[in-house]
Amino acid sequence: MYNNHKQMGRSRVNWKHDSKKTRKTHVQQKKINVTQMDKHYGLQRQFLKDGMNFLQYKNYIQEKINNNMFYYRKLSEEDVSKLHQRYRRLVQEEDNKVNELLEYRKRNKRQKRLFKEKKKVIIDEQKSKMIDQLLKVMNKRDILTSDVNAWTRIKKLLFSGGYIEKGDEKWSEIYRKIVSPVSAHLFNIHSHDALNDYIMNQ
């Protein structure tokens, strides 16, 4: 193989031989200095996960100092104050996260409840209109009500035989929409998601 160099010109190069000269046989790992306070900060994160509150942590630190435990002997008053302040802040941040999550869930739950209530009202109104239309086509409007809550009783009065005659095409399509287990059919919609979109835009 050849190598072009502006000083030397074109020369033949043995890449395999040259690579041996520059190949690194040992890579030094960067040494990370961990201080005594860093160890305490790491413990704070674990205590926080375990649910220790600030007062419990304060008592824990004091107990370790009183018992002259190894990692607590050299802590100055300033160090202890720093640990207290940091842990208090961590606890507050964690409380804020929990409160924010609870508030979000509460708001989300309320929105779902309001949407369900709105959906029921709109579906009942549409179903009532369809029942009224059915009674009109069947000439039963003057003797029966279009109240949705009374539909089960109305249906029994309309169809004592329990089935629909094939020849009654005038009202059979309306009837199928009313009794369909898919509420979307009342609105000439054919999916649950499409119905929810329709409700949201009302």
> Is residue 4, in this structure, part of any structural domain at all?
no
Take residue 122 and report the two structure tokens written for it: 């709109």
Residues in contact with 172: Cβ distance below 8 Å, sequence separation at least 6, in sequence order: 164, 166
**Residues counted in the chain:** 202
What is the per-residue DSSP string for 73-93? TT--HHHHHHHHHHHHHHHHH
Report the Cα 140 to chain-centroid distance in Å: 50
For residues 87 and 120, membership in a common domain is answered with: no
For residues 116 and 67, membership in a common domain is answered with: no
Q: What is the mean pLDDT of residues 178-193?
A: 88
Q: What is the pLDDT of residue 78?
A: 92
> Is residue 88, in this structure, part of any structural domain at all?
yes
Q: What is the mean pLDDT of residues 67-93?
A: 90
Q: Count CB atoms within 10 A of the CB of residue 131.
A: 23
For residues 70 and 129, membership in a common domain is answered with: no
Take residue 143 and report the two structure tokens written for it: 């003797």
Q: What is the pLDDT of residue 139?
A: 75
Closest to 198 (Cα-Cα) out of 106, 122, 99: 122
Residues 123-147: tens digit of each pLDDT: 999 988 888 888 888 777 767 787 8
Q: What is the pLDDT of residue 57?
A: 92
For the chain, how many structural domains are there in total? 2
Residues 82-116: tens digit of each pLDDT: 999 999 999 999 999 999 999 999 999 999 999 99
Cα-based angle 186, 191, 193 (whole degrees, multiple of 5) = 110
Q: In terms of pLDDT, which residue wins out, 21 or 96?
A: 96
